[in-house]
């Protein structure tokens, strides 16, 4: 059963924003969208990070989320797990715990197996644009492009665009790609990997509205590469997680999970 825990596969269902959002298919349709590059985006990035830091400091009420995950590996039968995540919900899910845990699969679970699977579910649920594997934050923290504008411009290739639809609703899109030349000078003692991806912000409030990216955690024992997407809604003028999709792979193992409010 221990080998079973090294495999995961999961599928995520998307929930759309109540406000204007940018689905991938819309981004591919230039006839629908007006896309204008933002030159020298560092000043705007500083303002966005200042706004995000304020939102990160806000206190949030505890919310419940449904989590569903599937796990697969070439040599083993697939299985699934689900439960309720109770967490303080804001830019990420904080102080999260799993309740009503359920397992569906062909194998009998030992107590240790159940503990490991719950740990995976918590790791997925606590992903955000600024944290990776927050359940193990002190040990496995990764560098985020949304914490320090100066460091981001040094370590990432940054592009920004203003995207509007046909009736004038707009978002700001920032894309963050890791600079390969930074790899050999990376502070591996302080950071254990990096987050890259695309973040969307409301053009009027500069608040985070969505994120699609990946995190690389080279020394994490099980899942070292995670792709994830976070969709937000606004509550009391603060972004709150609506839906989180995660996919992790390592060797022949695959995990997929969906966390929905």
Expressed in angstroms, the distance from the first to the final Cα of the chain is: 31
The per-residue pLDDT for range 140-172, each reduced to its tens digit, is 678 899 999 999 999 899 999 999 866 667 899
Tell me the C-alpha distance between 10 and 27, whole Å.
Answer: 25
Candidates 261, 221, 216, 219; CA nearest to 240 is 261
Asked whether 93 and 87 are in contact (CB, 8 A), the reply is yes
Task: Tell if the pTM clears 0.85, that is, is over it.
Answer: no
Tell me the C-alpha distance between 126 and 192, whole Å.
Answer: 17
Residues in the chain with pLDDT < 70? 1-32, 134-140, 165-168, 182-186, 188-190, 219-223, 250
């Amino acid at each position: 059963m221990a080998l079973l825990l090294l495999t995961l596969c999961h599928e995520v269902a998307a929930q759309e924003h109540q406000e204007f959002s940018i689905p991938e298919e819309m981004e591919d349709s230039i006839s629908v969208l007006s896309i204008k590059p933002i030159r020298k985006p560092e000043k705007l990035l500083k303002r966005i990070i200042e706004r995000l830091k304020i939102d990160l400091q806000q206190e949030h009420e505890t919310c419940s989320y449904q989590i569903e995950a599937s796990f697969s590996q070439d040599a083993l039968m697939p299985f699934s797990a689900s439960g309720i995540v109770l967490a303080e919900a804001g830019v990420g899910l904080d102080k999260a715990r799993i309740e009503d845990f359920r397992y569906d699969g062909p194998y009998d679970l030992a107590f240790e197996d159940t503990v490991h699977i719950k740990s995976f579910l918590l790791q997925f649920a606590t992903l955000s644009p600024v944290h990776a594997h927050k359940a193990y934050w002190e040990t496995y923290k990764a560098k985020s492009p949304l914490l320090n504008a100066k460091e981001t411009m040094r370590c990432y290739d940054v592009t920004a665009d203003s995207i509007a639809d046909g009736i004038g609703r707009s978002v700001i899109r920032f894309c963050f790609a890791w600079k390969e030349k930074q790899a050999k000078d990376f502070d591996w003692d302080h950071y254990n990997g990096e987050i890259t991806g695309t973040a969307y912000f409301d053009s009027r409030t500069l608040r985070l509205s969505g994120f699609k990216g990946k995190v690389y955690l080279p020394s994490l024992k099980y899942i070292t590469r995670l792709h994830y997407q976070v969709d937000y809604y606004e509550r009391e003028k603060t972004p709150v997680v609506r839906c989180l999709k995660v996919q992790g792979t390592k060797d022949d193992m695959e995990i997929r999970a969906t966390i929905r409010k």
